[in-house]
Amino acid sequence: MKLKSMDISATASASTLVFDALRKAIIEGQLEEGEPLRQDEIARLFNTSRIPVREAISRLQEQGLVKTQRYKGAIVAGLSPQETEEIFDLRALVEPEIVRSAVPKMSKDQLALAREKCAAFSASTDPATWGDLNREFHEALYGASDLKFFQEIADNAIDRVERQIRAQLVMSNGMERAGREHFGILEACEKGDAELAARLTKEHIQGAKKSLLAHLPVG
């Protein structure tokens, strides 16, 4: 009998590793907005040449996470208040559709996972983990949806405002409100009420946007 072919190694290419690491560093705020990305420095950090670094940077640019200028290099992209607002509007348009399509397809296991993530988020007292836990809850909710392009867009939109989301969570009662709203969305999913879940998701995002804009320079 023949053995099943299984990719033991599954080693990603160097450019992908660099891409993932830089993306993570940017959305987590370890690299500040406007900070230049020096190819040579990054290459040394990852023990590679500049070739994979350049490929990673060009992909990051395509995702809007960095901006590059010819012969001047790449810097971490930032968002104006208007741009931030637009991204939240985009999320408020797209993500309710993802939830609506996901609700009728959620399995017991997926609901259990979502409930677990919801609880973990509400229980966490370490601000450093809030961003990840928030995202894990939303991903658990969206996982049952088969709208993969919608999810791509939501993922990228969240990437771009991840820093603002984290700021919003630590703000005033941001964490408490998010926890409450998550629970409401989860309950709607458990009841199988796709319309309600979609509406609450939209309100959740719009609420986050409002509370964020209220604390922004221009408003």
For DNA, give the closer residue by CB, 39 or 151. 39
For residue 81 the two structure tokens come to 């208040």
The residue among 67, 83, 59, 60 whose CA lies nearest residue 164 is 83
Looking at 10-18, 24-32, 132-140, 145-153, which segment touches DNA (CB under 7 A)?
A: 10-18
Both tokens assigned to 138: 């939303």
- Beta partners for 74? 37, 68
Q: Which two tokens stand for residue 189?
A: 């999913």
Closer of 38 and 202 to DNA (Cβ): 38
Here's the x/- map for a copy of itself, 41-70, by CB under 8 A: it reads as ----------x--xx--xx-xxxx-----x
What is the DSSP code string of 59-104? HHHHTTSEEEETTTEEEE----HHHHHHHHHHHHHHHHHHHHHHGG
Closest separation in Å from C-beta 43 to DNA: 7
Minimum CB distance to a copy of itself, residue 183 (Å): 27
C-alpha 34/C-alpha 47 separation (Å) is: 25
> What angle do helix axes 194-214 and 174-191 make, rounded to 10 degrees?
170
Residues 138-167 that bind a copy of itself (CB under 8 A): 146-150, 152-153, 157
Report 16-55 residues binding DNA (CB under 7 A): 36-40, 47-52, 54-55
Residue ranges that bind DNA, judged by CB under 7 A: 2, 9, 13-15, 36-40, 47-52, 54-55, 68, 70-74
Residue ranges that bind a copy of itself, judged by CB under 8 A: 13, 15, 51, 54-55, 58-59, 61-64, 70, 82-83, 86-87, 89-90, 93-94, 97, 146-150, 152-153, 157
